[in-house]
């Protein structure tokens, strides 16, 4: 009988812990994953502004890509 009581006690503790974790994750997600919520809020603000940083980043990447392509072409011509 004591084995069954231990089993019930462990089942009760597990169930209450699981329920508490589920409730906390639903009601207060920023407690569980604060970095993700901060990043999500920042991304949402950027989208509301029209994504100026994203456009600047894309332009910067294109400029760097063009520079690397020019460098690669000069390296290929020097080998020939």
Whether the predicted pLDDT of 56 surpasses 90: no
Of the pLDDT bands very low, low, confident and very high (cuts 50, 70, 90), residue 80 is: low
Encoded tokens for 67: 């520079």
58 pLDDT above the threshold of 80: yes
Phi (first) and psi of residue 20, to 5 degrees: -65, -40
Spatial distance between the Cα atoms of 11 and 3, rounded to a whole number of angstroms? 12
Calculate what percentage of the chain has a pLDDT beyond 70: 92
Return the higher-pLDDT residue of 29 and 7.
7
């Amino acid at each position: 009988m004591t084995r069954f009581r231990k089993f019930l006690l462990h089942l009760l503790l597990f169930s209450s812990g699981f329920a508490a974790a589920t409730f906390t994750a639903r009601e207060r997600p920023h407690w569980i994953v604060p970095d993700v919520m901060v990043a999500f809020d920042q991304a949402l603000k950027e989208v509301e502004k029209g994504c100026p940083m994203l456009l600047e980043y894309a332009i910067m990447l294109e400029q760097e890509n063009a520079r690397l392509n020019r460098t690669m072409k000069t390296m290929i011509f020097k080998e020939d």
